[in-house]
């Protein structure tokens, strides 16, 4: 019987981290999940052991010892200030990376985003890109997923909730932005296959063609059986309003970071990367068919 392969997953209580932890455990990996609260163990299958991790300072070093790989999914998106976000995420990543090296872990995987590029306007995209540049492409693996579609959290859940209850759905600049999605299960498969092949460098894991944001929202509405009025709104005043409300402590389904991310969204070629990894990702329509009840129900 093959011994379980030990792997560390940071942010194991998050949307992608939880899916990935359960997937890898189901595939025979011994998952060591790093979470803020180890007492909240619901939603995990067998084969997952939890360890405390509060970035950047409080990280239990024990799970790194003897691990075959570290998959860094943790990322704080609701920090109070940009300075705090940078401290938590960028310094936190450096600390996780350092612990991985100290423990002699062979593979380090950073879960980045297609929002990460040199022209990114959002702090999220800029920060992810900055972290990428600190890694060694000859030794480390960077995965850039598109908009991850799945149940249990993330931006997609907020989009679905908005379409489900709204009669009028605003489209920033007409919703002409190209969105590349990836079904969460396909992302998990891609990460494991990349680990198995010991790939290094940067890979985009997202549907190659993408679709317009307005078409994605209309697909969501159709799957939910909702008849929504979609109206075009200019991004600049929307950004100003959202920032003003955030300054008052009001949390919205869409943040100023989301708005900024959309204003500089760009297509990232993924066909060759998917072929190298050896994975096919579902289209947005195929993913939504699995995630959302048909309109006739």
Check residue 242 and give its pLDDT: 84
Residue-level pLDDT at 76: 85
3-state class (DSSP) for residue 28: coil
Give residue 89's pLDDT: 92
Neighbours of 244 (CB within 10 A): 11
Residue 294: per-residue pLDDT: 62
Is the distance from CB of 263 to CB of 240 less than 8 angstroms? Answer: no
pLDDT (tens digit per residue) in 47-71: 899 999 999 989 999 999 999 999 9
pLDDT along the chain (297 residues), means of 10: 85 95 96 93 85 94 98 84 86 97 98 94 91 96 97 86 90 92 98 98 96 95 93 88 84 77 86 98 97 64
- Token look-up 């940071």 returns 10
Count of all residues that appear for the chain in the document: 297
Which class does domain 5-150+180-208+268-282 fall in? alpha beta
Rounded-to-integer distance, Cα 132 and Cα 191, Å: 17
d(CA 116, CA 125): 4
pLDDT (0 to 100) of residue 155: 84
């Amino acid at each position: 019987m093959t011994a379980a392969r030990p792997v560390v997953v940071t942010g194991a209580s998050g949307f992608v981290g939880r899916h990935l932890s359960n997937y890898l455990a189901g595939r025979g990996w011994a998952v060591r999940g790093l979470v803020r609260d180890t007492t909240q163990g619901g939603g995990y299958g067998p084969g997952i052991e939890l360890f405390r991790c509060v970035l950047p300072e409080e990280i239990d070093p024990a799970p790194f010892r003897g691990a075959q790989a570290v998959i860094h999914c943790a990322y704080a998106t609701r920090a109070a200030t940009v300075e705090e976000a940078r401290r938590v995420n960028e310094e936190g990543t450096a600390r996780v990376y350092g612990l991985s090296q100290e423990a002699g872990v062979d593979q380090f995987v950073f879960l980045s985003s297609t929002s990460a590029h040199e022209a990114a306007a959002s702090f999220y995209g800029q920060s992810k890109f900055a972290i990428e540049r600190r890694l060694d492409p000859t030794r480390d693996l960077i995965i850039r997923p598109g908009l991850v579609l799945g149940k249990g959290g993330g931006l997609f859940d907020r989009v679905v909730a908005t379409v489900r209850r709204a009669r009028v759905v605003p489209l920033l600049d007409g919703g002409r932005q190209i969105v590349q999605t990836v079904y969460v299960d396909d992302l998990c498969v891609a990460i494991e296959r990349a680990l198995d092949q010991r790939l290094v460098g940067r890979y985009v894991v997202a549907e190659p063609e993408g679709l317009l944001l307005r078409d994605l929202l209309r697909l969501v509405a159709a799957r939910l059986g909702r008849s929504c009025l979609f109206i075009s709104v200019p991004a600049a005043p929307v950004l100003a309003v959202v920032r003003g409300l955030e300054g008052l402590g009001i949390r919205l389904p869409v943040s100023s970071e989301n708005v900024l991310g959309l204003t500089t969204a760009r297509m990232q070629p993924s066909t060759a990367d998917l072929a190298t990894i050896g994975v096919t990702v579902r289209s947005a329509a195929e993913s939504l068919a699995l995630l959302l009840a048909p309109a006739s129900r």
